[in-house]
Structure formats: C-alpha cells, structure tokens
A and B are shown apart, each in its own frame.
Chain A
Amino acid sequence: MITINQLENGETGIINEIRGGKVFIKRLEFLNLRKGKQVLKISSAPFKGPVVLEVEGCQIALGQGMASKIMVEPA
C-alpha cells in the first residue's frame, strides 16, 4: 500500500484507505474519491504542485498534503 503521490504519472491504483478527519473523508467521498474506487494519476504539477487524478472519467486536482492521505494499492 502506497500513497497516491507515490504512483507514477499514468499509473492506476485502487483506493484502500483515506486517512484523516471525518469532514475531510466526506469531502473526498462527495467527489467520488472513496474506498474501492479505481483512480488514475494523470500528473503532478511542477514545484510540488497539486496532483491531478481521474476517477470514473472525472478529473480532480488536489494538493500534495491531501493526496498523501489517500492510500492506494497499485493495479
């Protein structure tokens, strides 16, 4: 199990666990980032910028700190 930042660009993984408070987990969940979902890491922006993910055809950008709380199983 690794964090989503550790995925290479273009790699996919399945969300295994999201670490954080209840509100944080809900915020991700409402955008369909939840346990069991397959995510594709599209890119991470330069200078430790945000990570762009794709879940069910929808792209989401989130900061490095938030991304490091999403644990995935590389597929």
Chain B
Amino acid sequence: MKILLMGNPNVGKSVVFSRLTGVQVTSSNYAGTTVGYTKGKLKLGSKEAELIDVPGTYSLESTSPAEEVAHKMFQEENPELLVIVTDATNLERNLFLTLQLLEKKLPSLVVLNMWDCAQRRGVHLDWIKLSEEIGVPVIPLTAVTGEGLKCLTQTMEDAIQKPESFRSPVPVMTDEKRWACIGRIISRTQKIEHHHPTLLEKLEKASVHPVYGLIIAILVIYLTLQVVVGMGEFLIEYLFDPLYYNYYGPFITQLVSGFAPSGIINEILIGNGYEYSTSFGLLTTGVYVEFAVVLPYILSFYLILGILEDLGYLPRLAVLIDSLMHKLGLHGFSIIPIILGLGCNFPAVLSTRILEGRREKFIATALIAISVPCMAQTAVIIGLLGPYGLNYIAVVYGTLIAIFISMGLLLNRLMPGESPEIFVEIPPYRVPHLKTLLQKTWNRVKGFMIEAVPFVFLGLLAINILYLVGVMEYLTWILSPVLSTLLGLPSDAIGALIMGFLRKDLATAMLAPLNLTAQQLTVSSTFLAVSFPCIATFAVLVKELGVKDLLKVLIIMVLVALLAGSLLNLMWSVI
C-alpha cells in the first residue's frame, strides 16, 4: 500500500509527513527544503501503509530539475492513494497542480493546510463547497499544531477501504481551460476580507526594501553572530566545563584506572589525564572536544538557524544579495547552502541540489568545501585563538572571506556559461512554532553527534596507533621540509594537518599542546579550514559531484590552502 504526499513547494508537506508517520524530517519555511524523498510507515486502521514525502512541484510538467524528481516519482511509484497538500492562504495557485493530479483519476483527497493562517489573514474558504466542486473530500488542517489531523487519518482510512468513491469526476483539461475552471471554483468558494497589514506583513515588505532591507540584513547577521557565539560560550562556561572537570573527568579516570592502571590501554583511553584538555585520550580529549567545545556551538547555531528558517527570513536575504552572488557565478538562493555550511558542510553539499544548473552547483560546492568553515571547526578556532585576542580570529575569517570572493570571481570568469536568474516564491513570515523548532534543533544536533562522535574516536585511535608504530614520524619526515618552509610550522604540527582529513575539529584541537605562537596557530587554522574536506564531506562530495569534478575541486583546494598559508606566513614575517 503506497500513499504519495504531493503539493506545491513550501505548503508544509514535510510537517504533515512528520505528523502522520512520526518520522522526523527537516522542514523549513522556504521552497525546496525537501530535495530527496523520505519514506515512512503509518497505520491506517488494521492496514499498514507506506507514505512518501515527494518534493514540492508547481505542476506536472518539469520546468526545473527539482520538479523532475517529483514527476518521475509520480509516474514510477504507482500510488494507491494521493494526499494532495495545499496552502489554504494561496488556494488559487495550488489548485492548478491539484486539478492536474485529480485528472489522473487516482483515489485522492485534498488537505487545506495552514488553515489557522488563512483565518488570521481573512481568507474565508467554504471547504464543503470546494469538496463538491472537485468531487473528493477536502480536509482543513493546521499541521504544526495537529488540528484536523484526526479527521485526515480517518478520511485516509475510508479512502483505502472505498477507493472508488475517492476518484474525482473532473475531466482532463488544457492549461487554459484549467485556469478558467479554477477561476470559477475560486469565485464560488473563497472570500477575502480586507484587513489592515499586520506587523509581520509590514516587516515582510521592509525586509526586501533596498534601504531598510539592507539595514535589517546587517542587524540580523550581527545579532546571529552575537547570539550564537554568546550562547556557545555561556553553555561551555556554566554547563559543559563544570560537568567535565568536576564530574566526568575524575569519574572516567577512576573507572579506567580500575582495570588498566597504566600501560598502552590507559595511555590510549586517558592520555596525560583529564585535567589537560589536550591529553589526547579517547575518553578524555575525545569527549571534551566533541561535547564541551563543539556541541555548545552546534546547539546554539542550529537553534538560531532554525528560527531564521521557520520565520522565512532566508529567501529574503537571498533576494537582497542576489546581484552580489551573480558576480561570484551563483545566484541569491545559493546563500542557503552556504549558511548551512557554516553549521556542517555535509548537509550543505546535499542542499546544493536546490540550485538549478551544473555550473552553479559546482561553484557553490567548491566554495563551500574550500572556504566555508563548519561550526565544529569554528568552535575550536574560537577556543584556540580566543585567548590571543579577536584580531587573530579576524585574520582567519578575513582570509576565508577573501578566498571565497576571489575564487567565486575567478570561477565565474573561467567557467563557460552564466548563472540563471533567481525565480522563487518568497514565503510569508510565520512565527516559529516552538515545539517544531526544538524538535528540529534536536534532530540536527543528534545527527551531528551520530556523524561526528565515531570519527572523533576513530581519529584519536588512529593518531595514537600511528604514533605508537612510528608512521607519524615517517610522514613528518617527508612532509616537514615543504610545510615548514612554506607555512613556517614546526614538524610536530604535521600530524594535526594530516588528521584534518578525518575531523577538522579534532585536527585543530591537536594544535593546542604544541606551544605554537599565535601567528603559527593562525596559519595552521586557516590551512586546515581550506585544505582537504573531512571524511564525511568527502563522501558526499563524491556522490554529488562525481569523481572528475571532485578531483578538480581537490586540486584547487590544495593549491589555495598552500597559497593562503604561505602568504599569511610571509605576511607575519614581513610585519
């Protein structure tokens, strides 16, 4: 039993999906959050059914690659029931796809989602009449709160028992006839009451205004930085540090000492002791770096990102910086993968699928992999360079921004073609729903931990073993002439640079015990940020770009990393 969930982009299909199946999927307030598809199971009466969340599409004809996925799925999956999700505040446009789908004569039902918004905006819909017009049941729903959900599941149950009465009588129409039909339906079922613009509606307009929009953008970015860093620091100082030093550290030391008082196992698990955050024990530094350095920032970053996403701010930022992004071979919407990259490069590379052309996708992916540092790395850089002052952190990020801009300009010149113009729906501002927001933040943090923790432990194990068997010495001997001349780093820093391939945060943390100068730390942090992607990002790059394009990115990456590192090193020695 297969059920497809279909509808226009950004009507809340993923929220409906999560509500019906209990499977958590990321939903945001902009078109194209769902790029792949998600399957989940749900029980309808005594039967078990498979529900598929299809990416949003405006029609059944493909006008963009993202829409093609939806059409292919519609044709190939052979669904037994279609749940057509529409946005009640925007029925007219939604009816086009709805009618196209109903014309296929599959058992269907229509959900009028965002029912509460429609009411607030003075959109009055006679849903009973609408149901008569299109010949299938219509269910008003507010998916975020769950109001109307019972009625939906009940109707779905009825539909699988009596599929015949869920086939719409609407005939197959030409596009022109369909619009005419929609016009008639709307005039009979919808009344829009004039209302004074609410504060949110005024803000919507101000956010894309040439002057106020820029002021708002600067304010939003500034506040985001302040809150993310401030909240991260606060959590470390008052929660994670005390927990680690007062409780976890003594506990784990005692536990391990119980069965391995000294020797190799104790060395690997505990290192020099928990009191040193850089002891490189699996259960000391490993746990400390991930949970007390990185996790607090990941948490605050995803919480703030979630608020901006659910509010609907990001597409407006995309509009404002569109012309700037065009100079870098991208268009405004590519700001979304880039912002995601500041959290973690892995989902960022995946989300480049919302971009239209191959050229644009290549440029965006290359820029993300090379010049966008992930939050895990940022956290460690703040920890490492913070004590020496803000200037050094500014140098690292200034260099990364310079690389981002100059590489974009260059790739835009070198690669044939032009980035397509932006053409996208701007969602209304919606007040984020607290429970959904917290759930999403939690899912992302959990995803990060599942992703990161095994690699961190693996990495620490690998370093310990490489040192023990002497391979590290050998690698250091080979690489140190190049790196020390170009980057001005001592040979013991090379182990850290090599580890960058596994985990960036761990690698950066490995620099801490080496007694490097602030200048050397700046050079190596920058080098690590630019050079090889971590192994998880590497895997997703292979998948999204293919081997040939990935090789191109890697070559550019190594060259840029060496160049930037050497230039910084040179700059310090001149000053």
Q: Taking the complex as formed, is B425 at the interface, i.e. its CB lies under 8 A from any CB of chain A?
A: yes
A20 to B427, CA, bound (A): 26
What residues of B have a CB within 8 angstroms of the CB of A56 in the complex? 90, 92-93
Tell me the complex Cα distance, A3–B64, Å: 25
A52 contacts B by Cβ under 8 Å: yes
User: Is the pair B210, A59 in contact by a Cβ cutoff of 8 Å?
Assistant: no
Query: Contacts A46-B210, A61-B423 given: A32-B92 contact, CB under 8 Å?
Result: yes
B97, B422, B427: which contacts A63 (Cβ < 8 A)?
B422
Cβ B179 vs Cβ A31 within 8 A = no
Which residues from B are CB-within-8-Å of A29? 175, 179
Interface size on A, residues (CB 8 A): 30
Q: Is the CB of B320 within 8 A of A60?
A: no
- On whether A27 and B209 interact (CB within 8 A), knowing A32-B93, A63-B422, the answer reads no
The A-contacting residues of B in range 312-346, CB under 8 angstroms, are: 315, 318-324, 331-332
A61 touches B61 (CB 8 A): no
Verify if A62 is at the interface (C-beta below 8 Å from B): yes
A65 to B421, CA, bound (A): 8
Q: Which residues of B contact A49 (CB under 8 A)?
A: 319-323, 332
Give A13-27 as 1s and 0s: 1 = Cβ < 8 Å from B's Cβ atoms: 000000000010011
Q: Are A50 and B319 in touch, CB under 8 angstroms?
A: yes
B318 nearest in chain A by CB position: A61
Chain A window 21-61, contacts with chain B (Cβ cutoff 8 Å), 1 for yes, 0 for no: 00100110111101000000011111111101000111111
B214 within 8 A of A: yes
Cα of A52 to Cα of B179 in the assembled complex, Å = 23
- Assuming the A-B contacts A31-B425, A62-B422, are A47 and B324 also in contact, with contact meaning beta carbons closer than 8 angstroms in the complex? yes
A-chain residues with CB within 8 Å of residue B331 when the two chains form the complex: 63
**In the complex, chain A residues whose CB is within 8 Å of the CB of B543:** none
The smallest beta-carbon distance between B445 and chain A, in angstroms, is: 32
CA distance A43 to B205 in the complex (A): 8
Across-interface contacts of B422 in A (CB, < 8 A): 50, 61-63
Contact B322 A66 (CB under 8 A): no
Q: Is the CB of A57 within 8 A of B121?
A: yes
User: Could you count the A-B residue pairs with CB atoms below 8 Å apart for me: how many are there?
Assistant: 107
B14 → A minimal CB distance (Å): 20
Could you tell me the distance between the alpha carbons of A26 and B491 in the complex, rounded to whole angstroms?
A: 62
CB distance from B173 to the nearest CB of A (A): 14
| CB contact list, B171-207 vs A, under 8 A | 175, 179, 192, 204-205
Pick the contact of B208: A26, A42, A57 (CB < 8 A): A42
Contact: B63 with A23, CB < 8 Å? yes
- Given contacts A31-B58, A50-B322, A65-B421, whether A58 and B210 have CB atoms under 8 Å apart is no
Query: Do residues B425 and A52 form an inter-chain contact, with CB atoms below 8 A?
Result: no
**Shortest distance in angstroms between B487's beta carbon and chain A's nearest beta carbon?**
38
Q: Are B319 and A45 in contact (CB under 8 A)?
A: yes
Residues of A within 8 A of B427 (CB): 59
Asked if B540 lies at the interface with its beta carbon under 8 angstroms from chain A, I say no
A59 vs B425: C-alpha distance when bound (angstroms)? 6
Minimum CB distance partner of B90 in chain A: A58
Docked Cα-Cα span, A27 to B323, in Å, equals: 22
Find chain B residues with CB under 8 A from A66 CB: 421, 423
Most buried by A among B92, B123, B318, B422: B422
Ranked nearest first, the 9 interchain pairs of A and B with the lowest CB-CB distance are A63-B421, A30-B58, A59-B426, A32-B93, A47-B323, A49-B323, A30-B59, A46-B210, A27-B63
Q: A43-B209, A46-B323, A60-B423 are in contact. List 13 more A-B contacts (CB 8 A).
A: A31-B58, A45-B210, A45-B213, A45-B322, A57-B123, A58-B90, A59-B427, A60-B425, A61-B422, A61-B423, A62-B423, A63-B322, A66-B423
Q: What are 25 of the A-B contact pairs (CB < 8 Å)? A: A30-B58, A30-B61, A30-B63, A30-B93, A31-B93, A32-B92, A43-B208, A44-B210, A45-B319, A46-B210, A47-B324, A49-B319, A49-B321, A50-B322, A50-B323, A50-B421, A52-B426, A57-B123, A57-B192, A58-B93, A58-B425, A59-B204, A60-B424, A61-B318, A61-B332
